[in-house]
Amino acid sequence: MYPTQAVFRPLTNRVLTGAGVRYARNLKPTSISTRNILTLKDHVYFSKATAEGPGRNGIVKSFGDSPLELKMAMPKAAGGKGDGQNPEQLFAMGYASCFLGALQLAAARANKKELAENAKVTANVFLGHPSEPDIDGFGLRVELTVEGCNNDEVIAAAHEFCPYSRALKHGAEVTVTKA
């Protein structure tokens, strides 16, 4: 099954609410809620990536210690050629790697380092249409599977510590500017 074609509209008619981005015309004054987001007092690492070309079928480059350049492509299941990587793959890779590091740190902090030494984390990232009819475009759903660590407290602590989990649970500060 192929998803319907995405409809893009300017951001000027949108309002950020606790449930995500919605069209202002669909909001009732009582439905706007606030959500605190996690902000940073400082940073210990900075990463930069640039995408160019025909959107999801262009090139993405990262800079820094170990530069990386990838050809991007819409997945076949979404109507593309599938001859490159896609943002969902990159998100899944980053989340799985980050969560594994958080899991190992949580186990070490609990003096149970051996619980996560051979652990493996799989992240499944799903791109799809939001079930709420007032939200246009696409959304993500993430499923994490932890293998090799059966301690629920360590897994929960990792979920609380992992920056990807925090961004999805608490929100992340995002600033969009024009160059």
Distances, alpha carbon 71 to alpha carbons 41, 65, 77, in Å: 35, 20, 18
Answer CATH for 87-179 from 3.40.1260.10, 3.40.50.720, 3.30.300.20, 3.30.70.100: 3.30.300.20
Contact 135, 151 (CB under 8 A): no
pTM for the predicted model, two decimal places: 0.77
- Using alpha carbons, select from 90, 74, 100, 97 the residue that is nearest to residue 2: 74
pLDDT digits (tens, 9 = 90+) for 13-36: 333 333 444 343 444 444 555 667
pLDDT digits (tens, 9 = 90+) for 111-139: 999 999 999 999 999 999 999 988 999 89
